[in-house]
Chains A and B, each alone.
Chain A
Amino acid sequence: MMQYNRQINRDGELQHLLTVEGLPASMLHRILDAAESFVGVTEREVKKVPLLRGKAIFNLFFEPSTRTRTTFEIAAKRLSADVINLNIGASSQSKGETLLDTVNNLSAMHADMFIVRHAQSGAAHLIASHVAPEIHVINAGDGRHAHPTQALLDMYTIRHFKKNFNGLRVAIVGDIMHSRVARSQIHALTTLGVPEVRVIAPKTLLPKGVEHLGVHPYHDLSKGLKGVDVLLMLRLQNERMQGALLPSAQEYFKYYGLTPEKLALAKPDAIVMHPGPMNRGVEIDSSVADGPQSVILPQVTFGIAVRMAVMSILAGS
């Protein structure tokens, strides 16, 4: 029996946020619009609104990530929710407790929302399909599959600096193959009407048939960056140097690292983004990361507002 996408409920509302794929552009814009209001909140004297007072939000991290967990925690606290952090890691799994056991136990503690990070693609879908109907699930990254809030904050950043999407040329550079961020960015960009999305990587880091996702693959960074408005850099995990994917970090930087010279090939007003944490000198040169075209720090600020928006919309559906 075909399993359906569980994130949209029968009334067409967002029940869970598991992936960007399949969400209509209007829904993405609604999230970005709400986020805009929350950016205002984070600039005030009291950086907090009472919207989710009394709600229990569980940060369920099966894979360690201080950074993402913290931004979700800040977002939840600014909405006045109670946040419970659980770094499950390998410990409870090694005790023989299954993923769903863990989730069932936590549901019994009257959770209202789960923020899930897991090393396996599809983990958030699995949890969403087994929780009680009043519980909402936000995918904070599952394997190589999706990282929808990261993509949404990237879209927010692009909209903030470029105003709209329909005249843009966007390049995603780096390890597309293993990147949940890239997959979510691709769905978000194509849904929002970006006419040209490029992915730039050596063939070992591009998944098979990536063009079916509506992007143009490039293997030469210089060609791929020509005339680009937005550069989305991806993090290159150190372990990619094993398993014959790449010969060395040095060679990768030489051919795929973003240097000022390479950036000069893009449009003069192009912006540079990165989901962090950065590997300076591997995928990006420090002078670019800290340079005038970098919007990496605003991304972090917007990230909190976008997560507040997602939580509020889910909690209210």
Chain B
Amino acid sequence: MELPQTRDLLEKLAEAIRAEISGPVFMVGIHTGGAWLARALHDMLHLNTPLGTLDISFYRDDFERIGLHPEVKPSDIPFDVDAADILLVDDVLYTGRTVRAAINELFDYGRPSRIRLAVLVDRGGRELPIEAGFKGIRIDPGENRMIDLLKNEKGELQLRLRPE
């Protein structure tokens, strides 16, 4: 299976978001891939609201099993979450557990007026009732394969498909 060009997906995603934006939207990327994407989308959409990042390590539901992530990064939400219209950004939407953790974490900063979700890839396989309002592509890579986002030395983002 061939993955489409990341650049094309990103532009498609930006287009879809642009059409829906009215009023100030606060973008929050989930570490690590989501944060890169959020940065890129933030630039493409010329948003003037501050950009946030979340590391959901403290909210994972598999802490008991895998422990604390060895490279936990500080979350950075440089705006008032109360009554904010938030666009959460992640690279790949799969079981929905990461997004669940991110929503929980956001609520510990305050009560947003709305949270929407944008993902580059929706690969199905949901275990929670979570859907993305914006998506670059919907694909099914098969159970034993992983999709992740990489960043090369030039700063370009590239999706990668690999065996688990």
Contact = CB atoms under 8 A, between A and B. Distances in A.
Interface of A: 13, 30, 33-34, 36-37, 39-41, 44-46, 48-51, 312-313, 315-317
B59 to A, nearest CB: 6
Given A41-B58, A45-B108, A45-B109, A51 B72 contact: no
Nearest to B82: A45
A316 B68 contact: yes
B109 A34 contact: no
Secondary structure class of chain B's binding surface, majority of residues:
loop
Contact of A313 (B55, B67, B71, B73): B67
A40 B76 contact: yes
Contact of B68 (A34, A36, A41, A46): A34
B63 A37 contact: no
B67 A50 contact: no
Interface residues of B, number: 23
A39 B74 contact: yes
B49 interface: no
B83 interface: no
B67 A49 contact: no
A39 B76 CA distance: 11
Contacts of A30: 70
B21 interface: no
Given A37-B57, A45-B109, A49-B58, A316 B75 contact: no
Nearest to B110: A45
B104 interface: yes
Contacts of B70: 30
Interface string B41-65: 0000000000000010111000110
B29 to A, nearest CB: 16
A33 B104 CA distance: 22
Contacts of A315: 63, 67-68
B58 A51 contact: yes
B55 to A, nearest CB: 6
A36 B67 contact: no
Contacts of A33: 71-72
B28 to A, nearest CB: 14
A33 B31 CA distance: 15
B59 A37 contact: no
Contacts of B55: 37
26 contacts: A13-B67, A30-B70, A34-B68, A37-B55, A37-B58, A37-B73, A37-B74, A37-B75, A39-B74, A40-B74, A40-B76, A41-B58, A45-B108, A45-B109, A45-B110, A46-B107, A46-B109, A48-B108, A49-B105, A51-B58, A51-B59, A315-B63, A316-B64, A316-B67, A316-B68, A317-B67
Contacts of A13: 67
Nearest to A37: B74
Nearest to B81: A45
